[in-house]
Amino acid sequence: MRFPFPFAGAAVALALALAIPAVGQDAPDERKALEEKLRALEEKQEETKKALEALKASLEAPPPAPRSTGPVEAPGLKPLDLGSSGSTGQVSSGTSFNPALSVIPEGLYYNDNRSGGAAGLFGAADGFAGTPVGEGRDLSRGLNLGETELTFSGAVDPYFDVTAIAAFATDGVGIEEAYGRTRSLPAGLAVKAGKFYSDVGYANKQHPHQWDFVDQNLPYEILLGGGLNDVGVQVTWLPKAPVYLLLGVEAFQGDNPGVANVLGPDANPAFADGAGPRLFTGFAKVSPDIGYSDALQIGLFGGRSSLHQEQTEQEGLDGTAWFAGTDWVFKHDSPEPFGKNDLVFQAEYLYRDKSLDRVAAEDPALVGRPSTARQDGFYVQGTWGFAPRFTVSGRYDAVGAFVNQIDLGDLGSTGYDASRRISAALTFNPTEFSRLRAQFNRGDAVIGGVRESFSQFFLQYQLSLGVHGAHKF
């Protein structure tokens, strides 16, 4: 045999000489064969001996004892009598027919350098002033009691689950969510009906106590009225496939300050009175499997509202709105205890387009003229578990980020600057059931072309009592 290169020959020789991973190549073959033979003989002898002994024993043995159930009948342990295929039941402390119950109170300390008015600045920012936005967190400087969330959930029958979440505030009670969801539809289909948080985007369906910050991100707060939560019906489909792909459509009554603000003829006789459902959305989420420790989910979503109305002192606007966006989430789950070195990165981009007509105005000449708003926003945020039970989070968010254009037809079109914010939070989770957080925000909102900057400081505690809540992705 000839080797094309001299050192390749040397290499093979070396590998042979080293006999490094001598897989199965243990000893000279001949000797090995002999060893094998010897062993085989010994084994055979052993077997014969055993067979003889067994025969002897069976002659002398007492009648066989009743069937042993194996090692499980050790003192103190008796198998449960479950029939042949085992129990399909669940060992649960959630008592049989009562719904699972949990109570989550929240308290806050708040201060800012704007005499308590910092939170309202974005609603007054150029491009958004006078339009309906989310209510935000209505905090006074000093001590606040947040909303106390009361959750009931359980299975109604084999076909439906129900979840009802009430939010108790000092000034009243609201229904945050109340919906039924099917349990047993075939083919990966599920239908949800009631009042619920839409599954568009990633952050939208999170309750305030699931946020990584005290406050909602800016694109949701300003463009989606604080988040899409409405009365409606949702159908989702998770096809049987090697990769997670969730598709869903929703029909909502259409009641959201950002995209489906319906005031009706009562607010202004010129306003249309449309029947619901008026807001339709769709979403797709895909999550490639990238191993046990990491998860990535990418989503696309959008929606259209057939009725959106805005009323200011000078005018009434009536028309339609649509929005679209994309959400990206990456999570790293470290094996270290208590969330140490866990990572979450998430980012969403949201674009909103309102096509409105001026149906009423102080100046009658303006009536009938269009007013179109094309605006967007995004946030990027990350959370890192830098020590067991401690996380640090950072966020940058902006509205009117790349587009902030109000178009008044032949009266011209105006572009505005972006308003933005940067936040940092430090969170301590003594257990899964309690949380303490400190957060600092620094931001500037463009008002009348001037950057109005502000600082905010929050301290927050959240306590969760009752059944162990499930951690949604």
**Binding string, residues 95-124; x marks residues near another protein by CB under 8 A:** ------------------------------
- Minimum CB distance to Zn ion smaller for 207 or for 374: 207
| Residue 119, token pair as written in the block | 């939170």
**Count of C-beta atoms within a 10 Å radius of residue 446:** 22
CA–CA dist 345, 124 (Å, integer): 30
Smallest CA-to-CA distance from 331 within 378, 381, 375, 281 is with: 381
Which of 12, 51, 175, 284 is in the footprint of another protein by CB under 8 A?
A: 12
- What residues from 244 to 263 belong to the interface with another protein (CB under 8 A)? 244, 246
Smallest CA-to-CA distance from 307 within 322, 296, 329 is with: 322
Q: Which helix (H) or strand (E) holds 348?
A: strand 343-361
Which of 137, 192, 195, 207 is in the footprint of Zn ion by CB under 5 A?
A: 207
Q: Which does 78 bind (CB under 5 to 8 A by kind): another protein, Zn ion, none?
A: another protein
User: Looking at 19-27, 128-136, 145-153, 454-462, which segment touches Zn ion (CB under 5 A)?
Assistant: 145-153
User: What's the angle, vertex CA 418, arms to CA 415 and CA 423, rounded to 5?
Assistant: 170
Smallest CA-to-CA distance from 421 within 388, 447, 399 is with: 399
Contact in structure between 177 and 196 (CB atoms under 8 Å) = yes
Which of 3, 386, 440, 473 is in the footprint of another protein by CB under 8 A?
A: 473
User: Looking at 201-209, 255-263, 304-312, 328-336, which segment touches another protein (CB under 8 A)?
Assistant: 328-336
By CB under 8 A, residue 357 contacts another protein: no
- What residues from 283 to 322 belong to the interface with another protein (CB under 8 A)? 285, 287, 289, 292-293, 295, 297
Q: State the DSSP code for 260.
A: B
By CB under 8 A, residue 89 contacts another protein: yes
- What residues from 357 to 386 belong to the interface with Zn ion (CB under 5 A)? none
- What residues from 132 to 191 belong to the interface with another protein (CB under 8 A)? 158, 161, 181, 183-186, 188-190
Q: Which does 332 bind (CB under 5 to 8 A by kind): another protein, Zn ion, none?
A: none
Which of 57, 241, 275, 365 is in the footprint of another protein by CB under 8 A?
A: 241
Which of 58, 88, 98, 170 is in the footprint of another protein by CB under 8 A?
A: 88
| Residue 374, token pair as written in the block | 């094309």
Q: Which does 1 bind (CB under 5 to 8 A by kind): Zn ion, another protein, none?
A: none
- Minimum CB distance to Zn ion smaller for 388 or for 409: 388
- Minimum CB distance to Zn ion smaller for 207 or for 358: 207
Contact in structure between 371 and 339 (CB atoms under 8 Å) = no
Which of 37, 39, 44, 56 is in the footprint of another protein by CB under 8 A?
A: 39
Sign of the torsion angle spanned by Cα atoms 81, 87, 91, 97: negative
- Minimum CB distance to another protein smaller for 32 or for 44: 32
Q: State the DSSP code for 68.
A: P
Q: Which does 207 bind (CB under 5 to 8 A by kind): another protein, Zn ion, none?
A: Zn ion
User: Which amino acid makes up residue 300?
Assistant: L
| Residue 129, token pair as written in the block | 């002033």
Please, what is the minimum distance in Å from the beta carbon of residue 233 to another protein? 16
By CB under 8 A, residue 240 contacts another protein: yes
By CB under 5 A, residue 195 contacts Zn ion: no
* Residue whose C-beta lies closest to Zn ion: 207
Beta strands in 365-449 (DSSP E): 370-387, 390-407, 413-415, 419-431, 434-447
User: Which amino acid makes up residue 130?
Assistant: G
Residue 138 gets the label, from left (phi > 0), alpha (psi -120 to 50) or beta, of: beta
By CB under 8 A, residue 54 contacts another protein: no
- Minimum CB distance to another protein smaller for 183 or for 451: 183
- Strands 450-463, 106-112: pairing is antiparallel
| Residue 381, token pair as written in the block | 């945020």
